[in-house]
Amino acid sequence: MSDDNKDLGNDLNDMLDDAKDNARKAGDKISQKAHEFSDEAKESAKEFSDSAKETFNTVSGENKKVLAGILGIILGCFGVHKFILGYNKEGGILLGITLLGIVLSCIGIGVIVVWLTGLVGLIEGIIYLTKSDEEFYRTYQIGKKPWF
């Protein structure tokens, strides 16, 4: 009986080893399929994201146009319309010149400086609002034309 028990034990060990191998193979297949699915999901998400960004830029172009135009007319001397369009350097230049003009207004010349930066904002605001949506989008959002 001890030989039968050894044979039975060997058979059970062989069956257990086969089960482990099959489980590893199944796990590897599942892992591979999950990786493929993950790659496909990432690719689909990237395509969707790119499409959403393009749609947002197209749709938001009009909103930026109106907002930048109105703020250019009202608060143009502070460069707010430049910051709205993402021209941070140009907005900072207008803001800095205006603040310098406010400081220099004690001696009179600053009033002219503030008036000139306000005039720049007014002119740019009018230009923004008179352009068509497509022309505004091409010129200021794609072409990145910073001044006039």
Domain limits, the chain: 2-142
At 33, list the tokens: 């399929």
* DSSP notation for 61-84: HHHHHHHHHHHHHHHGGGTHHHHH
pLDDT greater than 80 at residue 12: no
**Total-model pTM:** 0.55
pLDDT at 119 over 80: yes
123 band by pLDDT with thresholds 50, 70 and 90: very high
Provide, rounded to the nearest whole percent, the portion of the chain with pLDDT above 70: 86
Three-class DSSP category at 58: helix
Q: Is 8 helix (H, G, I), strand (E, B) or coil?
A: helix
